Amino acid sequence: MTYIEIKEGTRLSVPNNPTIGYIEGDGIGPDITKATLYAINSSLEFAYKGERSIEWQKVMVGDEAYEKTGKRLPQESLEQLRRCVVSIKGPLTTPVGEGFRSLNVTLRQYFDLYANIRPVRYFPGVPSPVKNPEKVNMVVFRENTEDLYAGIEWKYDSEEANRVRQFLSEQFNISLTPDTGIGIKPISKFRSQRLVRKAIQYAIANKRRSVTLVHKGNIMKYTEGAFKDWGYELAATEFRDQTVTEEEYSKNPEAYRNRIVVKDRITDNMFQQVLTRTEEYDVIATTNLNGDYLSDAIAAQVGGLGIAPGGNVGDVYAIFEAVHGTAPKYAGLDVANPTSLMLSGVMMLQYIGWNEAAKVLEDAIVQAYKDQKVTQDLARVLNIKPLKCSEFAEEVVKRMKPVE
């Protein structure tokens, strides 16, 4: 096996036949993973004519790993992902209200994948609940390692919750009733600024127009409000010649027309803004919980989570993933929509610098939707015959074209 190497701490050295890990996931995971790997392999052939290829290494995580090892995330699987550096994964089961903590969160924290990147745009032919979905072209950068997703919480009747309530009462005169569960919301300057840095770097590299800091700082002034302040501070100190604040820009648009506009919006207002003033938003940087809600809401405007990709990216390690759930009732039926994972594959190819293959795959997916070749989730809205998951992959591959 030939693994991707890490050079100078943060630079990837990608061979022509890298070993890349894949996690099938639970529920519909195996179906959409099989379709996705087939499509990615085909795009490589069209783009590179055999000069580049991927050696896929299966990594067991989730239900399959539990059945075979008694652990949902074995240490060997973590070591495999570390060796691969870059991986792709299907959805994993996360219980609600009880049981083990999210494997997705565990992976993000273990590899310090601090940026959850969610590009959302419209594909012609996809049914949408809004009038002008073509205006949606946003990329959400969601902080991935802290905020409420850090998982620092205690059940209301636990000894730990009792001790925290007592501490708050004695030290800060804060009175909580005995039936109060407690969670802690940590937001740090270091983690906030590295997330905003990655968002601004992306905006510059991809010639985007603006970066919007989304927060609830009017209420949570020292966590969400601090995120906003630290974001502006970073833009002013590290990207002084490439960025401008919205206030500065409004006073002299012509002078700053080639700069990235950095602005901020209150979270609840932002949900309205992405619907009513869609074209004004481009790259979004936000805290974890806000980003979770907002990225799903934006995806709904263009047809839903079935066509929304995602990547968990750190300074070097990256795991690209389908952003939807496991849909267990459809497991093994070959009916699920693999587009989210396929588009995450596009992101993965771009991340390793194989942009030609990424374009081949993305263009073919777009053409398939233009031709209304869709799976059952969208076919029932369009009132047309649905394709199976594997059939959709075949239709995508049929529409691939060699790189000119």
- Provide the annotated binding site: 93, 102, 104, 108, 118, 142, 292, 324-330, 337, 380
- Positions marked active-site: 149, 216, 268, 292
Q: Which residues are annotated as a binding site for D-threo-isocitrate?
A: 102, 104, 108, 118, 142
Radius of gyration of the chain (CA): 22
Is the distance from CB of 138 to CB of 281 less than 8 angstroms? yes
DSSP state of 252: -
| Region of residue 201 (left: phi > 0; alpha: psi -120 to 50; beta: else) | alpha
Q: Which residues are annotated as a binding site for Mg(2+)?
A: 292
CA dihedral 132, 138, 143, 149 (to 10 degrees): 20
Is the distance from CB of 313 to CB of 351 less than 8 angstroms? yes
Beta strands in 174-303 (DSSP E): 182-183, 210-215, 243-245, 260-266, 283-286
Strand, helix or coil at 6?
strand
- Calpha distance 188→191 (Å, rounded): 6
Question: In this structure, what token pair is assigned to residue 373?
Answer: 């070749």
Helices (H) and strands (E) in the chain, counts: 14, 15
Question: In this structure, what token pair is assigned to residue 344?
Answer: 């995450």
Amino acid at 52: R
